[in-house]
Chains A and B, each alone.
Chain A
Amino acid sequence: MQGDSEKDLAARCRAGDKSAYADLVRAYSARVFAICMAMLGNRHDAEDVAQQTLLKGLTGINGLRHDEQFGAWISRIARNLCIDFIRKRRRKPSLAARQADPAWPESHDYRELQAALAKLPEESKLTLMLYYFDGRSTKNIAAMLDISQCAVQTRLCRARRQLRKLLDAQ
């Protein structure tokens, strides 16, 4: 027994129970953030778009056809909003992205790691982010990305190797 299930919460939410959506936010904020981080590459933008995503999920919950697919659905919204954001950013670079971030740990390692992560192909980055940030199992990620578990392991393996290479090169 592990609390309310995704579909249970989504059903309650569609019935108007605000607290149920809060529980969904708690359960999915890390995943949404991981996706945004993977696609946008900087924490400020990722946070803003993740915020938009979670709010859009609330306002559009009635459009969710299958309660048990809330996770996949909110992930799709996150990706779409990231794509929109990237398009807009091409036209107008984000101010936030250029500002120094005082909250970011001053560790040299983190800066190097963030730079290396940014250079990874999107596919590898997303898999890594979901694996680490959201603490998802390879099985879970496989279901989410609609690929085999074996493919996830391969991607993870490849991503780690690429990351190692990039870190060694720095």
Chain B
Amino acid sequence: MQDNCKNIQEQIEELVAGSLPAERAAELQAHIIACAACRAYLEALQADDKLLGKFTEAMQPTIARLENSVIEAIADSRPGAQRFTAECAEDAEFFNLHSSSAASALSAVKGESDARASVLRTILRSRAAKFAAAAVVIVALALMMHRGNSRLDVTAPAFAEMVEAMGKVAWVHTVETKHIRDKGREEEWVFYDYSYRAKVVFKKSDKGDFSCQDYVSCTETFYDREADTIVSGYRPEYHDPWWHPTPQSLVEQWKKDFEKGRTVVTHQIGEQDGVVADVYSSTDYGTTKQGSRYVASEFILIVDRNKHLPLATSFKFWMSDGTLDTDTDTKYSYPEKGPSDIYELGCPKTAKVLDNSPTPELAQAVAGYRAGRESSPLRYIAILVTGSYNESAESYLINSVEVHYCDDYLQRCDLCFFQPITEQQFIEKAGNSFDSIMKWWTSQAKVDLRISHEKVYLYGQEYCCWLHRAGGSKDWVTLYRGYSPGKGRIGPRTLGRYMVYRNILSELGWTDWLLKTTGSWKVSLAENDYATSNNLLCIVVSDKSSFTGDGGASGGSLFYLNPQRNYICQKYELYPRSNRCYFREVLEYGQTDMGQWYPRKILTRENRRDVTPPERQEMITVYLDADPEFPEGIFDPEKLPK
């Protein structure tokens, strides 16, 4: 009997791990009920499992911080694919990371001491957000007033005035001086549109760098000092609200941050370059952000008292070891006109010119694509039924169902993988319409299918959860749970990690690859048989090789946009430099009652270029309800399955 129990205890491990087949799990449960020793063993294991689970959960902020710091560093590494792939990015210092060893070294050199707040630092890093950040501080200061922590009499209208004043200016000119890390002096001219999106950005540094990003004509121009060449290339606007926060989004964030902080605010009337100004100074002693290494920050904002426009800002951040990590002063001005080209900034006129800038036709096509993507449905329930091609069956065998609930920023995906069944079998069980599949999904699916595993992803502004359950297991395992009700601060970036798309329809119909392509690639409109016969616009993205898209070379992609269907990318073909290729093609379109197009049937293929048929081929069918009534509590993290 003891031997038997020893064997069983080994299987109890699997039971706890959720990897035991349902039948065996039931047998085991029966034994456990009858056997005190095995029951005790199971309870001890479950207790350990729970403790380890909690321990893992306690580590999640560290992992999230690690992830964010690296992603921020990648984003900050700016500029162009050449530098991105080049060897120049050798270590953390290049990325301006907060590695403790780097900071200690810096401290030894500078002999300075102080601390900073990571939130401020993040905001500071994003130069596009600098202007907005200045505005936001007013709100933060106003909030402090209500908390009774300050002598100031600043109220919300002060912020409103500032937003209004900012809305009236066309160009914002900033001169930024970084006193640490020898970053030198940088100047920037930004032309904003009504919604605070940058339309044109000129930059100049005292090291002799010049650049211009024109999001209207999808062009980036920069001066390559080493090659003494001005390079123009394709760069479409890629507006991610998280990477480039608008003043509105920052206001919300900062409200929350400041509510949590221990901020002391002062206000004085002063003068800046002969202009009477309000001088606001905010010092945040410590942050409540768990694990933050930045213990204090000082932010000074100087605002024109009459025109309500920021004139200057100063940021300082101190680390926990006393090191002053950031010390940056910025001056603002608001010229009527900005530069018209980089020559006006002082770029050498003798420099060679390499012009790969997009034609107006290409810019127009990309603008249509972007507009189509932005107008894709935002509130819906989409069921994705995926089948993998099975050679012996010569058909697609369905092996997963995903139900995506999307209410703008609230996202949930319930995902289930199961033993493959034929399409016919699937239709017999679930029907072939949104309503029938949904009804089957909620009532019968778990009985009908031999489930291998299930997942639930949930994302909202203040939470991000990821659950997993192996087939046959009763209990869900929390793989990640970030939940901070009322505190905010779980950014959309966390979303990507758990493979929940911000908007699955947008991703399936308008892949962001085309919008993320940058200037070092050649982008052009092309004609070929597929495009012509289907009335599509074909965009070829190629690297510096002789990629033509005819199957003869690697290093590029083809995007076929359908102007008749809101510029949905009907097909894309990707030929990376490796010996592989990837295809995705929309075979069928659907249309909502509001007239929005969406991809209804999508074929994906992936294979080595010298092998046919494809190694992997999937067919995704989308069933959509674009005017849904969401099940009660579907976005509520408290109501997730236990």
Contacts and interface: CB of A to CB of B under 8 A. Distances in A.
A109 B55 CA distance: 9
B464 to A, nearest CB: 11
**B63, B99, B555, B620 interface centre (most CB from chain A within 10 Å):** B63
A51 B497 contact: no
A117 B97 CA distance: 29
Interface in B7-59: 10, 13-14, 17, 19, 44-45, 48, 51-56, 58-59
Interface in A126-170: 128, 131-133, 135, 137-138, 153, 156-157, 160, 163-164, 167
B85 A157 contact: no
A16 B518 contact: yes
Contacts of B516: 17-19
A40 B520 CA distance: 40
Contact of B19 (A18, A25, A61, A138): A138
Contact of A160 (B48, B77, B400, B606): B48
A105 B58 contact: yes
Band of interface residues on A: 35 or more
B292 interface: yes
Contact of A33 (B63, B479, B521, B577): B63
**A7, A55, A110 interface centre (most CB from chain B within 10 Å):** A55
A54 interface: yes
Interface string A83-122: 0000000000001100000011101011001100000000
B589 interface: no
B323 to A, nearest CB: 13
B611 interface: no
B67 A17 contact: no
Given A51-B70, A59-B90, A160-B48, A132 B10 contact: no
Nearest to B494: A26
Main secondary structure of the interface of A (DSSP, over half): helix
Nearest to A117: B55
A48 B402 contact: no
A7 B66 CA distance: 23
A43 B99 contact: no
Contacts of A132: 52-53, 55-56
Contacts of A96: 100
**B54, B84, B521 interface centre (most CB from chain A within 10 Å):** B84
A77 interface: no
A27 interface: yes
Contacts of B74: 18, 21-22, 25, 58
B499 A52 contact: no
Contacts of B402: 1
Contacts of A164: 44, 48
A26 B17 contact: no
Nearest to B496: A26
A48 B67 contact: no
B71 interface: yes
B580 interface: yes
A48 B85 CA distance: 22
A164 B16 CA distance: 15
Nearest to B16: A160
B129 to A, nearest CB: 18
Given A58-B74, A113-B51, A26 B400 contact: no
A50 to B, nearest CB: 5
B580 A48 contact: no
A19 B243 CA distance: 11
B52 A15 contact: no
A103 B63 CA distance: 13
A52 B99 contact: yes
Contacts of B466: 135
A110 B58 contact: yes
A115 B51 CA distance: 14
Given A18-B75, A19-B516, A135-B468, A1 B66 contact: no
B71 A22 contact: yes
Contacts of A110: 54-55, 58
Nearest to B13: A157
B356 interface: no
B91 A55 contact: yes
Contacts of B513: 12, 17
B52 A1 contact: no
A110 B54 CA distance: 9
A153 to B, nearest CB: 7
Contacts of B528: none
Nearest to A36: B66
B499 A2 contact: yes
A11 interface: yes
A27 B199 CA distance: 33
Given A3-B499, A18-B74, A43 B604 contact: no
A25 B58 contact: no
B473 to A, nearest CB: 12
Given A95-B104, A132-B55, A138-B19, A25 B97 contact: no
Interface string B481-520: 0000000000001101101010000000000110011101
Contacts of A5: 606
A51 B99 contact: yes
A25 B81 CA distance: 18
A11 B576 CA distance: 6
A75 B71 CA distance: 18
**A37, A48, A167 interface centre (most CB from chain B within 10 Å):** A48
B70 A25 contact: yes
Interface in B322-374: none
**B466, B477, B516 interface centre (most CB from chain A within 10 Å):** B516
Contacts of B100: 44, 48, 95-96
Given A1-B400, A16-B521, A128-B52, A51 B384 contact: no
Given A16-B81, A17-B516, A67-B578, A153 B543 contact: no
Interface in B67-124: 67, 69-71, 73-75, 77, 81, 84-85, 87, 89-92, 95, 97, 99-101, 104
Contacts of B191: none
A1 B67 contact: no
Nearest to A19: B516
Contacts of B580: 7, 11, 67
B582 interface: yes
A12 B66 contact: no
6 contacts: A16-B520, A18-B84, A61-B85, A103-B292, A109-B51, A156-B13
Interface of B: 10, 13-14, 17, 19, 44-45, 48, 51-56, 58-59, 61-63, 65-67, 69-71, 73-75, 77, 81, 84-85, 87, 89-92, 95, 97, 99-101, 104, 290-292, 384, 386, 400, 402, 415, 466, 468, 477, 479-480, 493-494, 496-497, 499, 501, 512-513, 516-518, 520-521, 543, 555, 574, 576-578, 580, 582, 604, 606, 618, 620
The list of the 4 closest CB pairs from A to B, nearest first, reads A16-B81, A26-B497, A103-B291, A11-B576
Given A5-B606, A55-B70, 10 more contacts: A16-B543, A18-B84, A18-B516, A51-B69, A51-B92, A58-B74, A67-B576, A128-B52, A133-B63, A164-B48
